[in-house]
Amino acid sequence: MQSHSLWYLENLDVTGIFCPQKIARGDMDDHLHKVYKKGEYIYLPDEHADRIYFLTEGRVKIGTYSDGGKEVTKAILAKGEVFGELSLIGEDKRRDFAFAMEDTTVCILSVEEMRTLMRDHSGLNLFLMKIMGSRVLEMEQRLESLIFKDSRTRIIEFLHQLGEKKGQRVGFDTLVRKFLTHQEVANLTATSRQTVTTVLNELRNDNLLTFDRNRLLIRDMEKLRAAAREG
């Protein structure tokens, strides 16, 4: 099984399109290429939405704040993913924040630059439709899970989906690099850090997976899926 990504399209060099390199100097245009330090905000709610971002290195958290000021995590993005794309369909001000979880490099395009690229590269239209559709579907699945499933099931299903989307086959196992913290998993599953820790330890004791700060190794994807159904 290859590493899965919702943002990957075969035969389309997305990186080359978003981050063109200067032929003379052999590096990226300064206005396209920006590095954010760990802990920096890339944008905040209510800021003007006139840029699209392509993530080339690092990880970015997309989230918002409730009326009570509580942080709500919507997604955690990795290399090869796009964010800020709602500006293409009329978003005037940001509703979410984008936060660099580690040192992060992005290529930045204006809405007009992006529209020009979409005219020049027909595959980008499908690429962006795939992103938007997948994110809507993911949010619908998370809402359904919140309504109908208990905390343990939500956590196990999230781990299984993480393996499917981000995992690489290593022998009979599925490896997810840069595993999330227990608190990040809790934020994404609307559970508590303590519950995430308990469920992870149970799954490790059952030899379904192992984990540390740097990686998650799923021993058997089918058994993990079955464990979610048993919940």
pLDDT tens digit sequence for 147-195? 889 999 999 999 999 999 889 999 899 999 989 999 999 999 999 999 9
Average pLDDT of the segment spanning 90-102: 93
The mean-pLDDT minimum among 19-28, 79-88, 108-117, 176-185 falls in 19-28
Query: Does CATH place domain 149-230 in 2.60.120.10?
Result: yes
14-139 and 149-230 share one fold: yes
Domain 14-139 falls in which CATH fold?
Answer: Jelly Rolls (2.60.120)
Q: How many residues does the chain have?
A: 231
- Report the predicted TM-score, pTM, of the whole model to 2 decimal places: 0.78
Does position 101 have pLDDT exceeding 50, yes or no? yes
Q: What is the structure's pLDDT at 195?
A: 97
57 or 16, greater pLDDT: 57
Does position 73 have pLDDT exceeding 70, yes or no? yes
Q: What is the structure's pLDDT at 231?
A: 60
| Domain edges within the chain | 14-139, 149-230
Q: What is the structure's pLDDT at 29?
A: 52
pLDDT tens digit sequence for 1-25? 333 343 444 455 777 888 876 433 4
What φ, ψ does residue 93 adopt, rounded to 5°?
Answer: -125, 145
